[in-house]
C-alpha cells in the first residue's frame, strides 16, 4: 500500500498500517504532537488502519481541526465518568462547541456543583488509565439491541445509522454511537475543566424532554486552559447581566416575561443618550425620521414575504373580529408604505426614512440573554430608497457613519462579514437567483471600493437579500452582529414601488436596509461589557455625585447639585446621613466619574473637592471651573475619561 504525504513524498506501507505508526516512522516528535489524521480529505483516527492507498496528513495541536476532535474526545470522557458514577443515566449527545464541549444527560435527580467536582475527578482517573478510543462497527439490528437501555441513542441510530455503523469504546464500560474521530487514547487529553450546568431540550426542541447539560472546556496544555479560565473570570466580572443588576441598569421580571427587559432609570439614561446621539448624526446626514406602529395586519407580511420566510421568528397573530394582526418583526414594510404614500421622482432620491423602530421576534427561550438577545427591541433602523447608480455612494455614507459612531462610542475591535444565502437551503430565501447574484456583486464592489477586508458567511443572509454585517466580539471572543447594511431588490418589487426617472418612465428604486448602532438593547449590552460599567463621562448615567461632609453642608451641596444640573451635567446629591467615606466607597462601586466632596472650606470659597473614580484625589477647584471643565470633557466625547 502507498501513502502520499503532504510534501509529495510517497511511502510504501504494510496493508492495514495506522497513521500513528507512519507518524512514528517520520519522527517521534510528530507522533507525540499528533491528534488526528486526514486521509483523502477525511478526518481519521490515528489508530484506525488505512484501507487503501491514500493521501495522508498528520494533524497536530497546531491544526485548527484538532481542537474539536480533542474536545469531542473529552466529552466522551465526561460521559464515561458520568456512567461510572451514576449508572442508569441516559445519554444524549456530546459535541465540541466554540468554547469547549458539552454532553446532555437524562437523569431523575439534578446534578449538583459537588457532582461536577466528583465527575471531573473521575474523568482524571479514567484519563490516567490510558484507555484507547477504539472504533468498532456494528450492524444496525445488533446496535438497536446493544443500546436497548439508551432511548436517545436508539432514536439517533434509527434516524442516522446505515446498515453498519461506527461506534467508539472507551475501556470495557463505555460505548457511544459516534462518527468520530477521536484522539487515540485518554492519555492525550492533558487539560480540561467542567464549567457549568444548564437545562437543554433533547434535539433543541421545547416539545421534547428536558435534559441536563454539562459544559466543560479542554485545551492542549494546562497553560492554555489557565489563560482561558482567567479570561472567563474577567468576562464574568464584565458580564452585562451581572453589572446590569449591580449598577441598576435594567431588570428582567418573570411577570412580564423572558426576553422583555425593563430599563431602570440609569440604564434608560444610557439608552436615551445613545438614541439622541444617533438621531442627531442622522439628521445631519439627511435622514427623515418617522413614527410607525409596532403592529400591522398579517396580510402586510404575507405581501412582504416575511410570512413565508420569517414566520417562525414572529409572535403568533392576534385574532380580532375581522382581521388578524401581528407584532412586527421588522420595520421595513411600514417604511415602504411611507415611501409609497406619495409620488416620487428621481429628483427626490435618495430618500432616507429612519426610525428607532420597536420590533418583536420570537427568539427561543434558550438563546435569550440579558439585553444582548431579547424578544422586544428597538432598532436604529433606516431604509434608503435610491437609484441603482446611487447604491455605492449611499453604502459608503453608511460605512462612514458606522465608523464615526464607533469612534464616539469607543468601539475599536470589529470585523466585516459578507452574509450570503445558503445554496443548500434555498427555500429559506426569496427565489430569484439573478437578484441574489446582483446583490452580492454590489456589496462586494462597494467593499472593494472602500478597500475594506471581509470574510464570507453562507447561510447568514436576510431572506430578502445579502448583508454586510459588522461583527463585534465580547471578551471571550464570542461574536454577534451589530451594524448591518443590506441591499434589497426584492421588497421594492414585491410592493410595486417606483419613481419617475428622467426618461419619464416609472422604475423600481433599490432599497438599502441599514442599522448603525444595532438595537438599543444589544448596543447597551456591549457598552456595559466594553467599559465594565465604568462608562466614559459622556455616557455615564450619573456624571457627578455631590457628597456633603455633614448635615451642615447639605444646603451648599444642594446648590452645587443644582448648578451642575443647570449646566446639563447629570448630577446626584447624596444627602443621606452617612459618613462621607462610606458614600465615596459606594460611589466608587457605582463607577461614578466624579465625586464632589463639600465641607466648610468648599462652602466658604464656592468650590468643590474633586475626586475621580480612576485618578483619585484632584484637590479643590472653584465650582465654576469644575463645571466648565466637566462640560467640555463630556462634550468632547473622550472615551478614556
- 545: partner contacted, choices Zn ion, ligand TSB, none (Cβ within 5-8 A by kind): none
Name the residue among 43, 204, 30, 40 with its Cα closest to residue 135. 43
- 250: partner contacted, choices Zn ion, ligand TSB, none (Cβ within 5-8 A by kind): none
Question: Judged by CB, which is closer to ligand TSB: 18, or 467?
Answer: 467
- 481: partner contacted, choices Zn ion, ligand TSB, none (Cβ within 5-8 A by kind): ligand TSB
Residue number of the CB atom closest to ligand TSB: 513
Beta bridge partners of 511: 385, 488
Compute the distance between CA of residue 477 and CA of residue 414 in angstroms, rounded to an integer.
11
- 429: partner contacted, choices Zn ion, ligand TSB, none (Cβ within 5-8 A by kind): none
Of the ranges 177-185, 372-380, 511-519, 545-553, which one interacts with Zn ion (CB under 5 A)? 511-519
Question: Judged by CB, which is closer to ligand TSB: 54, or 520?
Answer: 520
Compute the C-alpha angle 388/352/391, nearest 5°: 20
Question: Judged by CB, which is closer to ligand TSB: 188, or 383?
Answer: 383
Q: Which helix (H) or strand (E) holds 303?
A: helix 298-304
Any long-range contacts for 362-369 (C-beta under 8 Å, 24+ apart)?
Answer: 362/312, 362/313, 362/314, 362/315, 362/316, 363/259, 363/313, 364/206, 365/206, 365/258, 365/259, 366/200, 366/201, 366/204, 368/258, 368/259, 369/241
Q: Check binding of 43 to Zn ion (CB under 5 A).
A: no
Between 317 and 356, how does the x/- string for binding to Zn ion read (CB under 5 A)? ---------------x------------------------
Q: Which helix (H) or strand (E) holds 215?
A: strand 210-219
Q: Check binding of 361 to Zn ion (CB under 5 A).
A: no
- Phi first, then psi: give them for residue 512, nearest 5 degrees: -110, 115
Compute the distance between CA of residue 435 and CA of residue 489 in angstroms, rounded to an integer.
7
- 78: partner contacted, choices Zn ion, ligand TSB, none (Cβ within 5-8 A by kind): none
Q: Check binding of 157 to Zn ion (CB under 5 A).
A: no
Question: Judged by CB, which is closer to ligand TSB: 346, or 362?
Answer: 362
Question: Judged by CB, which is closer to ligand TSB: 421, or 522?
Answer: 522
Question: Judged by CB, which is closer to ligand TSB: 247, or 354?
Answer: 354
DSSP letters along 71-110, please?
Answer: HHHHHHHHHHHHHHHSTTPEE----EETTEEEEEEE-SSP
- 188: partner contacted, choices ligand TSB, Zn ion, none (Cβ within 5-8 A by kind): none
Beta strands in 463-574 (DSSP E): 467-473, 479-488, 499-500, 506-507, 510-519, 544-548, 571-573
Compute the distance between CA of residue 533 and CA of residue 548 in angstroms, rounded to an integer.
25
Residues of this chain that bind ligand TSB (CB under 6 A): 330, 332, 361, 363, 373-374, 377, 379, 381, 383, 462, 481-482, 484, 513-515, 518-519, 521-522
- 482: partner contacted, choices ligand TSB, Zn ion, none (Cβ within 5-8 A by kind): ligand TSB
Reduced to 3 states (helix: H, G, I; strand: E, B; else coil), residue 322 is: coil
Could you tell me how many residues of this chain bind Zn ion (CB under 5 A)? 2
Q: By the 8 A CB rule, do 608 and 597 touch?
A: yes
- 471: partner contacted, choices Zn ion, ligand TSB, none (Cβ within 5-8 A by kind): none
Which strands, in side-by-side order, build the sheet including 164-170?
133-139, 164-170, 174-177
Question: Judged by CB, which is closer to ligand TSB: 77, or 377?
Answer: 377
As a whole number of Å, the CA-based R_g of the chain is 30
Least distance (Å) from Zn ion to the CB of residue 21? Answer: 58
Question: Judged by CB, which is closer to ligand TSB: 193, or 373?
Answer: 373
Q: Check binding of 513 to Zn ion (CB under 5 A).
A: yes
Least distance (Å) from Zn ion to the CB of residue 513? Answer: 3
Least distance (Å) from ligand TSB to the CB of residue 330? Answer: 4
Q: By the 8 A CB rule, do 372 and 480 touch?
A: yes
Beta bridge partners of 485: 468, 514
Least distance (Å) from ligand TSB to the CB of residue 433? Answer: 22
Q: Check binding of 359 to Zn ion (CB under 5 A).
A: no
Least distance (Å) from Zn ion to the CB of residue 409? Answer: 22
Question: Judged by CB, which is closer to ligand TSB: 156, or 330?
Answer: 330
C-alpha 223, offset from chain centre: 26
Question: Judged by CB, which is closer to ligand TSB: 186, or 331?
Answer: 331
Residues that bind Zn ion (CB under 5 A): 332, 513
Amino acid at each position: 500500500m502507498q501513502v502520499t504525504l503532504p510534501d509529495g513524498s510517497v511511502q510504501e506501507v504494510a496493508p492495514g498500517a495506522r497513521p500513528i505508526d507512519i507518524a512514528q516512522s517520520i519522527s517521534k516528535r510528530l507522533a507525540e504532537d499528533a491528534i488526528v489524521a486526514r486521509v483523502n480529505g477525511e478526518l481519521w483516527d490515528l489508530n484506525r488502519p488505512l484501507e487503501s492507498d491514500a493521501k495522508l496528513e498528520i494533524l497536530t495541536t497546531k491544526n485548527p481541526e484538532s481542537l474539536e476532535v480533542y474536545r469531542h474526545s473529552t466529552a466522551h470522557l465526561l460521559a464515561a465518568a458520568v456512567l461510572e458514577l451514576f449508572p442508569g443515566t441516559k445519554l444524549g449527545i456530546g459535541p465540541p462547541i466554540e468554547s469547549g464541549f458539552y454532553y446532555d444527560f437524562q437523569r431523575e435527580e439534578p446534578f449538583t456543583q459537588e457532582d461536577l467536582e466528583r465527575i471531573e475527578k473521575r474523568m482524571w482517573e479514567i484519563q490516567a488509565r490510558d484507555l484507547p478510543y477504539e472504533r468498532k462497527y456494528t450492524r444496525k439490528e445488533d446496535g438497536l439491541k446493544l443500546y436497548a437501555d439508551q432511548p436517545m441513542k436508539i432514536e439517533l441510530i434509527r434516524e442516522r445509522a446505515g446498515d453498519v455503523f461506527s461506534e467508539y469504546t472507551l475501556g470495557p464500560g463505555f460505548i457511544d454511537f459516534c462518527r468520530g474521530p477521536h484522539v487515540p487514547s485518554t492519555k492525550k487529553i492533558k487539560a480540561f475543566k467542567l464549567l457549568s450546568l444548564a437545562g437543554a431540550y433533547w434535539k433543541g426542541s421545547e416539545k421534547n424532554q428536558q435534559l441536563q447539560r454539562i459544559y466543560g472546556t479542554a485545551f492542549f496544555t494546562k497553560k492554555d486552559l489557565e489563560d482561558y479560565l482567567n479570561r472567563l473570570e474577567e468576562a464574568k466580572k464584565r458580564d452585562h447581566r451581572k453589572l446590569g443588576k449591580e449598577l441598576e441598569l435594567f431588570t428582567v421580571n418573570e411577570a412580564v416575561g423572558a426576553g422583555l427587559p425593563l430599563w431602570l432609570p440609569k440604564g434608560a439614561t444610557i439608552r436615551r443618550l445613545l438614541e439622541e446621539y444617533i438621531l442627531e448624526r442622522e439628521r445631519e446626514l439627511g435622514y427623515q425620521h418617522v413614527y410607525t406602529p409596532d403592529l400591522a395586519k398579517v396580510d402586510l407580511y404575507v405581501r412582504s414575504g416575511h410570512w413565508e420566510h420569517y414566520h417562525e421568528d414572529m409572535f403568533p397573530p392576534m385574532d380580532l373580529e375581522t382581521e388578524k394582526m401581528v407584532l412586527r418583526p421588522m420595520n421595513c414594510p411600514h417604511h415602504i408604505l411611507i415611501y409609497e404614500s406619495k409620488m416620487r421622482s428621481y429628483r427626490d432620491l435618495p430618500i432616507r426614512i429612519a426610525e428607532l423602530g420597536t420590533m418583536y421576534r420570537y427568539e427561543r427561550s434558550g438563546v435569550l440573554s440579558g439585553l444582548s438577545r431579547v424578544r422586544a427591541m428597538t432598532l436604529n433602523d433606516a431604509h434608503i430608497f435610491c437609484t441603482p447608480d446611487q447604491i455605492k455612494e449611499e453604502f459608503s455614507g453608511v460605512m462612514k457613519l458606522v465608523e464615526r459612531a464607533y469612534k464616539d462610542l469607543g468601539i475599536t475591535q470589529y470585523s466585516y462579514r459578507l452574509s450570503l444565502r445558503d445554496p443548500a437551503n434555498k427555500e429559506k430565501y426569496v427565489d430569484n437567483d439573478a437578484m441574489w447574484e446582483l446583490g452580492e456583486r454590489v456589496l462586494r464592489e462597494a467593499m472593494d471600493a472602500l478597500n475594506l477586508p471581509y470574510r464570507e458567511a453562507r447561510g447568514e443572509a436576510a431572506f430578502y437579500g445579502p448583508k454586510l454585517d459588522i461583527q463585534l466580539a465580547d471578551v471571550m471572543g464570542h461574536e454577534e452582529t451589530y451594524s448591518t447594511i443590506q441591499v434589497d431588490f426584492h421588497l421594492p418589487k414585491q410592493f410595486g414601488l417606483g419613481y419617475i426617472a428622467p426618461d419619464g418612465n416609472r422604475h423600481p428604486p433599490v432599497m438599502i436596509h441599514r442599522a448603525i448602532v444595532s438595537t438599543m438593547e444589544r448596543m447597551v449590552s456591549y457598552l456595559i461589557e466594553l467599559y465594565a460599567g465604568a462608562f466614559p463621562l459622556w455616557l455615564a448615567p450619573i456624571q457627578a455625585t455631590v457628597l456633603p461632609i455633614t448635615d451642615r453642608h447639605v444646603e451648599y451641596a444642594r446648590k452645587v447639585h443644582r448648578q451642575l444640573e443647570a449646566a446639563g451635567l447629570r448630577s446626584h446629591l447624596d444627602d443621606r446621613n452617612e459618613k462621607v467615606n462610606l458614600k465615596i466607597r459606594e460611589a466608587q462601586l457605582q463607577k461614578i466619574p466624579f465625586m464632589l466632596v463639600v465641607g466648610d472650606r468648599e462652602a466658604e470659597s464656592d468650590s468643590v473637592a474633586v475626586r475621580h473614580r480612576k485618578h483619585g484625589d484632584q484637590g479643590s477647584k472653584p465650582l465654576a471651573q469644575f463645571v466648565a471643565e466637566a462640560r467640555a470633557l463630556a462634550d468632547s466625547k473622550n472615551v478614556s475619561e
